[in-house]
Chains A and B, each alone.
Chain A
Amino acid sequence: MQRPIVELSDVSISFAGVKALEGVDFSCHAGTTHGILGENGAGKSTLIKIISGVLKPDYGTIALNGKTVSVSGPAEAADAGIVCMFQELSLIPDLSVADNISLQRPPRRLGLIDKRAQIVRAEKLLSRVRCEDVDPRAMVRDLSLSRRQMIEVAKALGRDPKVLILDEATSALTQRDVETIYGLLDELRDDGVCSLFISHRMHEIDALCDRLSVFRNGHHVETFAKGERSDAEIVRLMIGRDVTAKFPPKPAPRERAPVVQLDDLRWQDRLKGISLTLGRGEILGIGGLDGQGQKELLLALFGVLKGVGGTVTVGENSGLPPSPHAAKTGRNRIALIPEDRKTEGLMLSLSIADNIIAAALDKVSSGAVIDRARLDAAVQDGMDRLRIKAGSTEDAVKTLSGGNQQKVVLAKWLMIAPDVILMNDPTRGIDVGTKQEIFRMMRALADEGKSILFYSSDYAELIGCSDRVIVLYDGQVVSELTGDAITEEAIVAASLNMQGEMA
């Protein structure tokens, strides 16, 4: 085999004392589509950030085309032909499609941007991604999410990649666009481009990649050609042991007294008439592709969204809480574990204690005055209950690992003794051990009679944890699964709204 185009040797990097990558050797070759597998927190995105020059490793070397380089920044990586498409869109909403595509190196004439050449260039690239219907003069703001994602692809192509990194690039796409991307990747492979493909969807990896690398807990476990390992073996490599012990046992399905009842819940064009019942002591999973209204559903129940229509009953109260404060202090207390703990769940530079008590300050104070002794006791109780590992409760919460940070978010909300717990992808980016602890805790809470509404982007979690699963598609419930009917096939089929076609 020829010289690898990117080669990492003995690369290690850690954040706040937590090793994100340790002694990783990794290489990829021109003319391959290389899949990178691993659970959340396995180190995939860190790997990509190192390759694309966003992060600098603590130890180890990086070689591009056989030459050892000290990649000092994204610009240098881009010059070497490494182009990265991140999950988060990097387009600027108030610029036109053509401006965005040529943002890095616009065609110039007399030192000024040549608008006409730019539009021609955009049209050419758009036709490569089969988006001829998009006007290059249109503002990105006015386009749908899936169109924007395809423009992101066009923009990446325009930079003439040698190494193209796709990080969950297909998550928001329609079936047709996904096929377009498949075709493009094949074309690029024939042109000698190396594509690094990260996806949580096994069938995509199966269909596209010719080599696979598995990462686990910051280690590169193994790289092999497609077909050398069975799916079951791959999964075992990813989690390091058999899948079965991962989730606590579920109780038998039974009738439950309803706690939350939604009828025809509507909000803007994101929720289009959602009806559901959440029973006492039940874990109700919400499935579906990202961005089908799951997040909005949880936010609506927590009183974050304004102008939500439909009928809602929570306990004996009817109607939605008007604010998070009302949700937290109502007769049926509601808690929300938000999607992004760094921006929504935690106050990162404040202490662990301040974060744990943030939602329950009124419980440890008389009037407006805080009782120090009660506060310390409550914080310690939260630390013990979730077994949060930290030097001192006065340490800033940002010094903790992702898993312990999420435990702080959970501790904060358990402090108010909630009746209904809304969880938005609570295990994202945390280690396997903590995940299992969280699953056990969810089941214990349900057994205590709490009701849990649980969205996860990981189907295995939905299957392992939920008593019942509803699948959302385009703001509507398209499927409801109970007991043994909760299978990956059924959820995937419902997620793509192609009941019967896929399975």
Chain B
Amino acid sequence: MTALTQIRPADRPILIAFSFTILILLIGTAYTMSTTGTVPLLQPSYLMQQLQIGSFLGLCAAGMMLVILTGHIDLSVPWTLTSAAMIATSVGGPWAIPAGLSVGLCVGLVNGFGVSVLRVPAMIFTLGLDTVLRGLMVARTGGFAPQDQATPAMLYLAKSKLMGVPVALFVWIAVSLLVTFILTRTTFGRALYAIGTNERAAWLSGIRTRAVVTGAFVGSGLCAALAGVLLAGYSAKAYQGMGNSFLLPAIAAVVLGGTHILGGRGRYAGTFLGVVLIVLLNSVLSIMQMPEALRQIIYGTVIIGMLLIYGRGMRVSE
């Protein structure tokens, strides 16, 4: 910890997350060495496969970060993802992916309108919209998994490999580069940080806060929808509740990566590492054949524990 104090405060969470990722890999490897004598965790093919699964979470977290930076939160991710997947598979053909993404766009616009214009707290509004979407999808499908199949384009994006690397990973990296560019090099990105730090001061500086907040929600909606389209491709079809396991991990990845949960602070590299950390933690826990219940407990404890470490660091730096 003493060496860490030399480092810029903004980079500290990223370094902690990175060290922790290495630590998880070491523990997992030590375990597999002692039990089976193999090192699956250090094999590129295994890591690739884990990151391929992680890319769905990575997309959700990228969008979530945009919203969290403004000081809001998007709890509608699970059913935005599911709805996008269901609409995409049922439209089918060349319009499947655009149709899925447009679901995300609409959800984002509605969330943005509710939070920035109607000024309903994001936690309530997005949770409400999530429930509405669930109702709509149950009404549409009768509560069963739809029979429609994913289109070849969706299958390609989610399952194929390009030069030995999963295409889904390329999609995640492309979105990551785009988000990094938006956050560091565009007026929209600067405005996100300004609003998250002090919305009133940002508004009084002539920043169009409503448009920017809506933009953040649209970003989150699009990312969740893209994750849904890909996940439907990965599973070859859409199914009920496919997005349910993404909400907490997405928020956790953003926060573990050093983004302040109340907005205004954080770098995208942190979110990326946060996703990697969570994916590896999950896979090490499953390699160790933990019972599901214990896995959940360890998983939650690790997230809370790391946030406590950050909390200490923040106080010291201020």
CB of B204 within 8 A of CB of A338, answer yes
Given A347-B264, A368-B186, verify A304-B194 contact (CB < 8 Å): no
Interface flags for B186-219 (1: CB within 8 Å of A; 0: not) read 1110110110011011111111100000000000
Q: Which residues of A contact B203 (CB under 8 A)?
A: 324
Of all chain A residues, the one with the shortest Cβ separation from B184 is A370
CB of A358 within 8 A of CB of B187, answer no
Q: Of B185, B186, B206, which is within 8 A of A359 by CB?
A: B206
B256 CB, min distance to chain A CBs, angstroms: 20
Interface flags for A326-347 (1: CB within 8 Å of B; 0: not) read 0111000000101000011111
| Interface membership of A350, Cβ < 8 A | yes
CB of A412 within 8 A of CB of B185, answer no
CB of B208 within 8 A of CB of A344, answer no
CB of A345 within 8 A of CB of B204, answer yes
Q: How far is the CA of A362 from the CA of B186 in the complex (A)?
A: 10
Q: Chain B binding site: helix, strand, loop or mixed by DSSP?
A: helix
CB of B265 within 8 A of CB of A349, answer yes
Range of interface residues on chain A? 20 to 34
Q: Which residues of A contact B205 (CB under 8 A)?
A: 324, 328, 358-359, 412
Q: Which residues of B contact A327 (CB under 8 A)?
A: 206
Q: Which residues of A contact B190 (CB under 8 A)?
A: 354, 357-358, 361, 370
Q: How far is the CA of A477 from the CA of B201 in the complex (A)?
A: 29
| Interface membership of A9, Cβ < 8 A | no
A325 CB, min distance to chain B CBs, angstroms: 5
Of all chain A residues, the one with the shortest Cβ separation from B196 is A347
Of all chain B residues, the one with the shortest Cβ separation from A394 is B8
Given A329-B206, A343-B201, A345-B201, verify A350-B188 contact (CB < 8 Å): no
Q: Which residues of B contact A416 (CB under 8 A)?
A: 206
CB of B200 within 8 A of CB of A365, answer no
CB of A336 within 8 A of CB of B204, answer yes
Q: How far is the CA of A362 from the CA of B208 in the complex (A)?
A: 12
Q: Which residues of A contact B193 (CB under 8 A)?
A: 347, 350, 354
CB of B187 within 8 A of CB of A362, answer yes
Q: How far is the CA of A470 from the CA of B167 in the complex (A)?
A: 69
Q: How far is the CA of A208 from the CA of B264 in the complex (A)?
A: 48
Of all chain B residues, the one with the shortest Cβ separation from A327 is B206
B268 CB, min distance to chain A CBs, angstroms: 16
Interface flags for B100-134 (1: CB within 8 Å of A; 0: not) read 00000000000000000000000000000000000
CB of B206 within 8 A of CB of A348, answer no
Q: How far is the CA of A348 from the CA of B190 in the complex (A)?
A: 14
CB of B206 within 8 A of CB of A328, answer yes
| Interface membership of A369, Cβ < 8 A | yes
Q: Which residues of B contact A369 (CB under 8 A)?
A: 185-187
Q: Which residues of A contact B194 (CB under 8 A)?
A: 347, 350, 354, 358
Given A324-B206, A354-B193, verify A370-B198 contact (CB < 8 Å): no
Q: How far is the CA of A327 from the CA of B206 in the complex (A)?
A: 8
Given A329-B206, A368-B186, A370-B185, verify A361-B191 contact (CB < 8 Å): yes
Task: Give residues of chain A (452-470) contacting chain B, Cβ–Cβ below 8 Å.
Answer: none
Q: How far is the CA of A350 from the CA of B204 in the complex (A)?
A: 16
Q: Of B187, B200, B202, which is within 8 A of A368 by CB?
A: B187
CB of A350 within 8 A of CB of B206, answer no
A295 CB, min distance to chain B CBs, angstroms: 13
Q: How far is the CA of A410 from the CA of B193 in the complex (A)?
A: 20
CB of A325 within 8 A of CB of B206, answer yes
Q: How far is the CA of A369 from the CA of B206 in the complex (A)?
A: 18
Q: Of A348, A365, A368, which is within 8 A of B198 by CB?
A: A348
CB of B202 within 8 A of CB of A347, answer yes
CB of A324 within 8 A of CB of B186, answer no
Enumerate 22 A-B pairs (CB-CB under 8 Å) in ascending A order.
Answer: A325-B208, A328-B205, A328-B206, A345-B204, A346-B198, A347-B197, A347-B198, A347-B201, A347-B264, A354-B190, A357-B190, A358-B202, A361-B190, A362-B187, A365-B186, A368-B187, A369-B185, A370-B185, A370-B186, A370-B190, A372-B185, A412-B205
Other A-B pairs, 4, CB within 8 Å; known A344-B201, A368-B188, A412-B205: A349-B197, A349-B265, A354-B193, A365-B186
Chain B contact residues, CB within 8 Å of chain A = 185-188, 190-191, 193-194, 197-198, 200-208, 264-265
In the A-B complex, the 3 residue pairs with the smallest Cβ-Cβ separation, listed nearest first, are: A328-B206, A347-B197, A361-B187
